[in-house]
Structure 1
Amino acid sequence: MACDDPVELVPGVWQIRQELSEEVPLYLHLVVDPEGSALVDGGLPSSLGWIERLMAAAGVRDRDLRFLLNTHGHHDHIGAFAELRSRTSAVVVADPAAVRWIEDLEVNLREFALHRPDIIADSPELRAELAPTFGRPCPVDVTITDGGTVRLGGPVVLEALRLPGHVEGELGWLERSSRTLLLGDIVTGTSWSFFHGHLLPTQLRGSLHRLRALTLNEDVRLVCLAHYASRTAAEFLELLTEVERYLDQVTDTVEGALDATPRSLAEVWRHTCAQLGRVEEFRGLAMVQAHLREAVAAGRARCVGPDLYVALRSDGQVRLQR
């Protein structure tokens, strides 16, 4: 895995890039205040050495690291937390809905990757593939909700923004003095070989709208993301449009697989992967299931049996095959 040198993006906000694969980068961010510092997300277990490089470049000693701020509980955002908390006594801060996944990694693995063993088997091979990407469970010291703030001791204040959609419990962090927005995965990858995925499509759309309004109304100057390079406000607004179009495409593809003939979740998932050129894997399966669930709730589809779906017209009648 390659890694770029640490860079100070704006005074007090540092970044380092780790390549998780040829197509997926991971950006980790450190916010520095004269009285203390905060790391936003803990990467993978393999990220620890690069976090150390980031801290060294910023002149942050272990005793200066006051907070470990989480965006959400996926494995590539919590992997080094346990080691860093033990070594630095930094306080782990997360959304209440992220706590289970941070503190219980078996629950995390089961709900993240092994949620449908009838479709994607809970196999030793899959567990062996995922095991190196999970660290140790880590206690969460403080939970925080929308609008809560974390003060580093000096002038730097980070405000929590609750941004559900990719998962239920996701936070963004707004550093007001530099007008910097630090985000996890709410702005999902759109062009990877696998689906980055989202579990709450409607809430994702709402969070993207909120980020657009925040950027326009709060004079955001820099946006730092977990899987995209940092960008200006204007560049970020363009990215939001791209992700919104992608969300529309996924919705249309999933629901376009339905007609009067009952289709299973597995069939719709495989259809969606084929149509959009993605590998069949667990993230996409969870995403397709979420879209079907919302289509049923909105009256655009009906569940007619265990994991069997048909399309509905606007009058509630079954839509005939097109």
Structure 2
Amino acid sequence: MPAFLLLAATLAAAPADTAPIECGACAEWNQPQAPFRLHGDSWYVGTKGLSAVLVATPEGLVLIDGALPQSAPLIAANVAALGFDLRDVRFLLNSHAHFDHAGGLAALQRLSGAPVLTTSAGARAMRRGATTHDDPQAGFGDKANGYPPIAVIQVIEDGGSVSVGDVVFRMHASPGHTPGGTTWTWRSCEGGDCRDLVYADSLTAVSAPGFRFSDDPPRVAEFRATIARVAALPCDLVVSAHPGFSGLFDKLAEREADPSRNALLDPKACQAYAQAGEDWLARRLAEEAAATPGD
């Protein structure tokens, strides 16, 4: 049986973990996107609005992020279109435990058998299949925030790493957008040209109604430390959890217009991405201050 037919049959046999989540942006986020090479053996395999990255090594594959539950078939199809087999995935990595980035992990775990690596805070959310009470978006409720829970999780500590073949994936804890967010870095080589790649967690100060970041100064300080940390990473190419926030497809269009250079490579990309996160947080704090009744 052709690989794509086998994949379709497998997904059809266990549809519960790919049942669509409905949200205002979900249909737009989940538009199909053809896979493309980032650099070396690192590939974009996500949708138009939700990133997922596959890294291939001779010793196996690593897949970062699962997008929505209904994104899992699209990600799996992109992996197969590149000639890879999901059963060769050794680890599933995650940016943060929200339904639009962790929602597809249960299905991808079923298809691959690979464990999900995350922080202890991320693991608490993934095991319950919804945000934890200390997440800024928890106020939306478990029904709105819910997604298929993850069965097999390995907790990794800040600064920890995992290796597949000669590729080392290092985790940088990125609390702020969520309590358990992570940013991942690795090096990818192409014809002797080795580059530092970054899969960056979301740096947006987004919350449910009624939540105020300014009511928790330590959380704000932690968020700003995360932003500074991302800005300081060795970074030749960045993919953000939402690709639009790092201008990924604009850069891809530049590369396609001028194939003589890889416009995805930008040594200032992490700094720009982090500055956008700092600007967002500053605006949010200013809005909260303006909404606070005067003394």
Q: Which runs of 5+ in 2 are unaligned?
A: 1-26, 189-194, 249-263
Matched, 1:143 2:143: no
Task: Tell me, in whole angstroms, the C-alpha distance in 1 between the residues paired with 2:138 and 2:148.
Answer: 21
- Offset of 1:94 from its aligned partner? 1.0
Superposed counterparts of 1:229-308, under 5 Å: 229-230=247-248, 232-260=266-294
String of CA shifts for 1:263-314, please: whole Å, max 9, x gaps: xxxxxxxxxxxxxxxxxxxxxxxxxxxxxxxxxxxxxxxxxxxxxxxxxxxx
Cα distance in structure 1, aligned partners of 2:276 and 2:136 = 27
Q: How does 1:50-129 map to 2 (within 5 A)?
A: 50-105=74-129, 108=131, 115-116=138-139, 127=143
User: Radius of gyration: which is bigger?
Assistant: 1
Structure-to-structure mapping, 1:160-179, within 5 angstroms = 160-177=171-188, 178-179=195-196
AA at the equivalent of 2:181: E
Check the 8 A contact 2:205/2:284 in 1, yes or no: no
Note the aligned Cα RMSD (angstroms). 2.8
Residues 80 and 223 (structure 1), Cα distance of their counterparts in 2 relative to 1, 3 Å cut:
same
SS in 2 for 1:97: helix
Assess, with a 3 A threshold, how the Cα gap between structure 1 residues 55 and 17 changes in structure 2: closer, same or farther.
closer
Bigger shift: residues 156-165 or 236-245: 236-245
Contact persistence 2:94–2:116 (CA under 8 A): yes
What is the identity, as a one-letter code, of the residue corresponding to 1:188?
T
Q: Cα distance 1:161–1:233, how it changes in 2: closer, same or farther (>3 A)?
A: same
CA offsets per residue over residues 51-95 of structure 1, 9 Å max, x none?
112211332213211111122111111112222222221121111
TM-score where L is the length of structure 2: 0.70
User: 1:105-124 CA deviation, whole Å, 9 max, x = no partner?
Assistant: 2x5387769855xxx7x6xx
**Alpha-carbon contact 1:151-1:157 (below 8 Å) kept:** yes
Cα distance in 2 for residues equivalent to 1:137 and 1:242: 31
- The separation in 2 between residues aligned to 1:45 and 1:248, in whole angstroms, is 33
Contact 2:94 2:117 survives alignment (8 Å) = yes
| Partner Cα distance (1:221, 1:101) in 2 | 31
Structure 1 Cα separation of the partners of residues 101 and 197 of structure 2: 19
Shift of 1:134: 4.4
Q: Which residue of 1 aligns with 2:62?
A: 38
| Native 8 Å contact 2:45 2:79 kept in 1 | no
Match of 2:237 among 215, 222, 226: 222
Contact 2:168–2:187 under 8 Å retained in 1? yes
Does residue 156 (structure 1) correspond to residue 175 (structure 2)? The answer is: no
SS at match of 2:131: helix
